Structure 1
Amino acid sequence: MEYFRLRQDKDYLNAPIILDVIKQIQRRYVTPEDADKIAEITVFKLANHDKLDSLDLLDRQLFLLSRLLKDTVKLYVPKLVCKKVLLLNSAKKVQLLYYLPIFPGVDCISDQSIMTPDKSVVKKLVLKRAEIPKQAVFKVRHSHETIIIARLDAAESMMRRRFRGIKMHRVELE
C-alpha cells in the first residue's frame, strides 16, 4: 500500500495567515484526550492581505480543512472529531470557515527518517510499515509538526475532487 503526506501547497503566496494562534489553541490540546479544552468554535483574526487565496488545506500554524475537504476525510474516518475555526478580517470583510481535525497520534516514525538536529522538522519522512494503522487517514505523532497521512485510496479521492492548495508527497516505508 502507498501513503501520502498531506501538506499545504506553498506555491499559493496569499494563503491565510492567522494571528495569535497560541493564545487560543495550544497544539498540545489537539488530541482526542484534550479536545474538550478547545472551544467548539474558535475565532481568529487574519493578517491583512490585499488578495487572499481560498485554500482547502492550511498547515502553517494549525492543520485546518475546508468544509468539503473535511467531509471527504470523514468518508474515510467517520468518527473524526473536528472543531470549527472562523478566520476573520473585518477591515477586508473576509470570513473563512475551516475545521480543525483532531486525530489520535500514531507512533510510526522510523529511525530512517531525516530530521533537523533539534528534531523539530521532519525533512524526509519514513514510516514503520508494521505500525501504520488500518485507518485511511491518520496523524503521525510528532511533538513539533502536524503530520497527516492519507492511504492511496483516500489520496486519490481527494485528488479527484480537485481541492485547492493541497500537495501530496509519497511517504517511504521501512
Structure 2
Amino acid sequence: MEYFIVRQDQSITNPIIPLKTDLDDNFVCSSVFGEVVEKENAVYLDYLDKPRRIVSEDLKKLFSKYEDNLDFTAIVFTDVKKGTQRVYWIMDIVEKNCISHETTYYPDGRIKELVINPKKVELDCIFQVDSKMETFTIVNLDVAESMLRRPLFGIQLQRVKLERR
C-alpha cells in the first residue's frame, strides 16, 4: 500500500486566515466559533493545517466514507466585517506510532524525510503521525485517489516512503 501526506497548498497566496477561536484543546464541544479575515479575493480551502486540521464539508464526507473512527467538531468561520459565515470541521484523527528508524531529521529535530513502518499502520486509511516538532495527516492510496477525483481546492499530496523490509 502507498501513503501520502495531506498538506495545505502553500502556493495559494490568498486563503482565509483563522484569527482566533474559542477552541481549547482540553475542551470537548459540539461546535466552535472562529473569526477569520478574508483578504481581497480570499479563497476558502478544503484543508487547513492551522490552527488545527480543519476540513470542508466535502472533505469531511469523503474521509467519513473511509474511516469510522474519525471525530469531527463543527467550526463556524465568521468574517465580522463582511458578515459571512461558513461551516468547517476540526478533525480528530487516530495517532499511529509508525515512524521508521529510517526517517531522517534536520539538526533542529524537524523531519527531513518521513519514512513509515507499514506494519504499524494496520488497516487505517487515514491517520496522524506525530513527531516532536510536527504533525502529519496521512492517507492511503485509495483515499488519495478519491480526493484527486473530486474538485477539492488547496490540498497537496506528498508520497511517503515506506520502510525497507
Per the normalisation by structure 1, the TM-score is 0.85
- The residue aligned with 2:33 is 43
Alpha-carbon RMSD across the aligned residues, in angstroms, is 1.8
Aligned to 2:11: 11
Decide which of 39, 52, 55 is 1:62's aligned counterpart: 52
In structure 1, the residue matched to 2:66 is: 76
After TM superposition, the runs of 4+ consecutive aligned structure 1 residues lying more than 4 A away are none
CA contact (8 A) 1:110 1:127 kept: yes
Q: Which of 68, 79, 83 lines up with 1:89 in the alignment?
A: 79
Instruction: State the alpha-carbon separation in 1 of the partners of residues 61 and 145 from structure 2.
Output: 15
Q: Distance in 1 between matches of 2:53 and 2:117?
A: 23
Structure 1 distance, partners of 2:57, 2:162, is 31
Name 1:127's counterpart in structure 2.
116
Deviates more, 1:46-55 or 1:158-167: 46-55
Asked whether the 8 Å contact 1:108–1:141 carries over to 2, the reply is no
Partner Cα distance (2:43, 2:159) in 1: 25
For 1:100, which of 90, 93, 96 is the aligned residue? 90
C-alpha distance in 2 between matches for 1:48 and 1:56: 15
Match of 2:58, SS?
helix
Answer yes or no: is 1:138 the counterpart of 2:137. Answer: no
Which stretch of the first structure deviates more once superposed, 44-53 or 159-168? 44-53
Structure with the higher helix share, 1 or 2: 1
Aligned partners of 2:40 and 2:51: how far apart in 1?
20
Distance 2:53 2:40 in 1: 23
158-167 or 93-102: bigger deviation: 93-102
2: CA distance between counterparts of 1:69 and 1:123?
28
| C-alpha distance in 1 between matches for 2:149 and 2:161 | 23
State the match for 1:53 in structure 2.
43
AA in 2 matched with 1:63: R
Question: Which blocks of at least 5 consecutive residues in structure 1 are unaligned?
Answer: 30-36
> Does 2:140 match 1:151?
yes
Alignment partner of 2:146: what SS?
helix
In structure 2, distance between residues paired with 1:68 and 1:58: 13
CA 1:85–1:156 in structure 2 vs 1: closer, same or farther (change >3 Å)? same
Residue 20 of structure 1 aligns with an amino acid whose one-letter code is K
Higher strand proportion? 2
When the two structures are aligned, how many residues end up with a matched partner? 163
Match of 2:151 among 155, 158, 162: 162
Q: 1:171 is matched with which residue?
A: 160
What is the CA deviation profile of residues 30-62 of structure 1, one whole-angstrom value per residue up to 9, with x for unaligned ones? xxxxxxx23211111113522211211011321
Q: Percent identity?
A: 30
1:125 Cα deviation after fit: 1.1
Instruction: Using the TM superposition, give the Cα deviation of residue 72 of structure 1 relative to its aligned residue in structure 2, in angstroms.
Output: 0.2
CA spacing shift, 1:63–1:3, aligned 2, 3 Å: same
